[in-house]
Amino acid sequence: MTDILMPKATAVWLVENTSLTFEQIADFCGLHPLEVNGIADGEVARDIRGADPIANGQLNREELDKAQADPAYLMKVQKSRHAELLKPVRKGPKYTPVSRRQDRPDAIAWFLRNHPEITDGQISKILGTTKATIEQVRSRSHWNATNIKPVDPVTLGLISQLELDDIVRKAADKKAKDDARKGIVTDGPTLAPIGAVAGKPSAEEDVGHDFDGDDED
């Protein structure tokens, strides 16, 4: 069944304007019959204005009449003329102007040197390059390896500062979660020096004490 637009608003309209059963409305709108029952009782979708599925092209009058005449009949959703307009647009690969494509290896080198926590996939997506090119820069097997130098991609105009901040933050968050899952502690107190026991100074502390004593002499 095709997903309908505004299922709860559509259910509100059908409850208020038709004699359909809760099961028929639930099937058409993709809701649970109890949720439709709640709409009818005023407990669910109380502040939602009904949306006419006939007016927006998701249901024709013949289907509605047939369903009202037969409680066992389940209505078929028509493809809405608005569906294509409301469909989310997926971003394609990032396009980099030809004039700036020679700058990408420098930006890749910058990421590899300054943010090793950022994955090749993330670098590839934000710079519009390939994982193969990233590996060539990393292994210095790139055809122009001798001329590649790390340069901030924002300075090069390949990405905005906001994009850079976002990808760095996401990579840092992911690394922190991975480290926590592996039991790796990157912040906070470190382990005591080997040999140190409660009430007894460590070797480093002994050295510091002798050094202070020498100063007093």
More confident residue, 170 or 212: 170
CA–CA separation, 45 vs 21, rounded Å? 18
Residue 141 has a CB neighbour count (10 Å cut-off) of 9
> Can you spell out the DSSP letters for 50-78?
P--TTTTTSS-HHHHHHHHH-TT--PPPP
3-state secondary structure of 87: coil
- The answer to whether residues 140 and 196 touch, using CB atoms and an 8 Å cutoff, is no
Please tell me the distance from the alpha carbon of residue 129 to that of residue 138, in angstroms, as a whole number: 14
Where does the pLDDT of residue 43 fall: very low under 50, low under 70, confident under 90, or very high at 90 and above?
Answer: confident
Model confidence over 86-113: pLDDT tens digits? 455 555 555 555 445 578 899 999 999 9
120 falls in which pLDDT band (50, 70, 90)?
Answer: very high
